Amino acid sequence: MEEILNEKHTIIMISDVLEYQFCPRFIYFMHCLDIPQHEEKRFKVLKGREVHEKRRFTNREYVRKKLHCVQKDSEVYLVSKDHHIKGIVDEVLFLEDGTAAPLEYKFAEYKEKIFSTYKYQIILQGLLIKENYGKEVNRGYICYTRSNSLVKELVISPADFNKAIEIVTDILEIIEKGKYPKATRSSNKCIDCCYRNICV
Ligand code: SF4
Q: What residue ranges define each of the domains in the chain, with the CATH number in brackets? A: 3-190 (3.90.320.10)
Spell out the residues 6+ positions from residue 67 whose beta carbon is closer than 8 angstroms to its own. Answer: 93, 95, 101, 103, 141, 151
Please state, in angstroms and as integers, the Cα–Cα distance from residue 22 to each residue in 26, 48, 115, 123, following that order: 8, 19, 12, 17
Average predicted confidence (pLDDT) for the chain: 86
Cα 194 to ligand 1 centre (Å): 8
Residues lining ligand 1, Cβ inside 6 A:
23, 25-26, 183-184, 189-190, 193, 195-196, 199
52 pLDDT above the threshold of 90: no
Mutate to test the pocket of ligand 1, among 25, 186, 194 (most ligand atoms within 8 A of CB): 25
Q: Ligand 1: which residue has its CA nearest to atom 4?
A: 199
The arithmetic mean of pLDDT across residues 105-113, rounded, is 86
Is the pTM above the cut of 0.75?
A: yes
Q: Residue 40 — very low, low, confident or very high, per pLDDT cuts 50/70/90?
A: very low
| Partners of 155 in the β-ladder | 139
